Structure 1
Amino acid sequence: MGRDYWGQFLKDSEKVVRDTNDIIRKNYETIVENFGDETRRMIKRIDCLNKLIDMELQLKTESTESSIPDEKKKQFLEIMETVHRIVDSLQNINALCNPLIGEQPHVNPGAHESDISRLETDRENLRNQINCFRQTVVGSENVFAPQLTFLTQVESILQGRALRTICFELRNVIDGGDSESVKKYGGLAEAILQQMDGHICMLDWELKNDNGSYQLLPAEPEGDNNTTLF
């Protein structure tokens, strides 16, 4: 009796269909899971940026409510604006170097140059701004404890290996055209952003009062407005 080739063909075909459907299902589940993770990260990042914007607006409001300029508030506003620019640059680098599933990172020579240059400049400026603010609040460290803690955390990021690696090595990696290496730098940017998110959220939480409002910096004591009269 001859083999039932047609029956075997049907069985093999059914198996191929089942295996294919299984692969499609698993890939779909992976895509859905990755999309969910990316959505959660984006929501968290938007929340972080909104907090930064709220802080900047609050500082501007506090600064304009007084007829005498408050040097502490002015300096801290400048710091938060620089932090905002650093976050923006890191977001751009993360998005372009470590894109969504199925997309390739930008590896054209010169890509990200503006973000990297801006990141280098803002990194150095922020270090100087932090030093100036510390000098300005000498003698009032207890009053400005939350702000100083936040700046110490940010300074640790500025001096950390991850950010220095992005600033000093990413250009060469992009020019080399190695997509997988470029993705790793996108991952570094993502890790730094997560740290920034945490520090910004903690500062926001510490400064809020029971009624949900807060003052980013204490009001200047009478007779202490950081101006020189002569």
Structure 2
Amino acid sequence: MVNYWGKIEKSKCKEIILNNFADRERKHFADYKRFTKNVEAEARRMRDRIDCLNRLREFQMREHELMQAQSVEPSETPVPDEKKKAFLEIIETIRKMVDSLQNINTLCNPINGEPHVNPGAHATDIDNLNSNREIIRNQVNAFRQLVADYNEEFSFQLSFLSQMDSILQGRILRSICLELQNVVDGGDSGRVKQYGEMAGLLLQQIDAFLFELDWNTRNPNVESEILPAEPPGDNNNTDI
């Protein structure tokens, strides 16, 4: 006598095993795709970070070389132009701000997992960002007074600083400097991530402004249509 019931049961078990195997494979593939996507996103963010810092360093190096080349006699020790030196000091402060913003963007809005929200986390970057924000304000005011009679010669630098004003005086940077530490100490990881995203938006704006400044100084006789006078969006809205 043929045991049809046994055959049916074996067939069902086989089907269940195959279905479970297929489900596991689909889950593993989805996990792998998610992992690959996260790795690519983190790599892209690191490339953006390196590109922005490299742009700052290249600009500083080129300006230093130009100042040295302007020495009257090759044998003389070059005396840096006071106005150009003052602008390079501003660029150095911006580099420090960019470094702090990139740390906040990476650590407060990680690709994987949750940000650290234990009391005091990220305090160093927030403090550095806040102090450099005050330093650059004073530097910008001093530079504008220094070049008051040289507006045409320093038109690109002054235009860049006007663009940076939208960030320095905007609500987003002020919120990061004055509110983020309280949010971190409060343990709200969701809001901490939002501040990390805000830092990323500021980095995009700063990098775009630097790109335009670099283009203009390299091509002083070519009209630039790369960016509008004001950054896209409203830097005074945080939506938090």
Give the TM-score normalised by structure 2: 0.79
How far did 1:16 drift?
A: 2.0
- Given that 1:95 and 1:186 are in contact with CA atoms closer than 8 Å, whether structure 2 keeps it comes out as yes
Moved more, 53-62 or 181-190: 53-62
- Given that 1:45 and 1:197 are in contact with CA atoms closer than 8 Å, whether structure 2 keeps it comes out as no
Could you tell me how far apart the structure 1 residues matched to 2:9 and 2:171 are?
64
What residue is the counterpart of 1:214 in the other structure? none
Residue 46 of structure 1 aligns with an amino acid whose one-letter code is I
SS at match of 2:134: helix
How far did 1:142 drift?
A: 2.5
Select which of 72, 96, 100 maps to 2:83: 72
1:68-101 Cα offsets, whole Å, 9 max, x none, are 4422112101100100000011111122111232
Could you tell me how far apart the structure 2 residues matched to 1:79 and 1:63 are?
16
How far did 1:193 drift?
A: 0.9
Could you tell me how far apart the structure 1 residues matched to 2:28 and 2:167 are?
42
Select which of 11, 29, 42 maps to 1:25: 29
Could you tell me how far apart the structure 2 residues matched to 1:61 and 1:160 are?
34
1:193-213 Cα offsets, whole Å, 9 max, x none, are 111111111211221149xxx
1:135-166 Cα offsets, whole Å, 9 max, x none, are 22223222222111111111111111211111
- Given that 1:150 and 1:199 are in contact with CA atoms closer than 8 Å, whether structure 2 keeps it comes out as yes
What is the RMSD computed on CA atoms of the aligned residues? 2.0
What residue is the counterpart of 2:110 in the other structure? 99
Select which of 115, 120, 135 maps to 1:110: 120
Select which of 153, 158, 169 maps to 1:159: 169
Moved more, 107-116 or 30-39: 30-39
Could you tell me how far apart the structure 2 residues matched to 1:34 and 1:195 are?
23
What residue is the counterpart of 1:57 in the other structure? 61
SS at match of 2:211: helix
Paired residues, number: 209
1:206 to 2:216 alignment: yes
What residue is the counterpart of 2:153 in the other structure? 143
Which gives a bigger RCO, structure 1 or 2 (Cα 8 Å, sep 6+)? 1
How far did 1:119 drift?
A: 0.6
Quick one: percent identity of the two aligned structures? 47
Select which of 190, 193, 211 maps to 1:180: 190
How far did 1:63 drift?
A: 4.1
Structure 1 unaligned spans of 5+: 211-230
SS at match of 1:10: helix
Residue 148 of structure 2 aligns with an amino acid whose one-letter code is V
How far did 1:172 drift?
A: 0.8
- Given that 2:41 and 2:111 are in contact with CA atoms closer than 8 Å, whether structure 1 keeps it comes out as no
Give the TM-score normalised by structure 1: 0.82
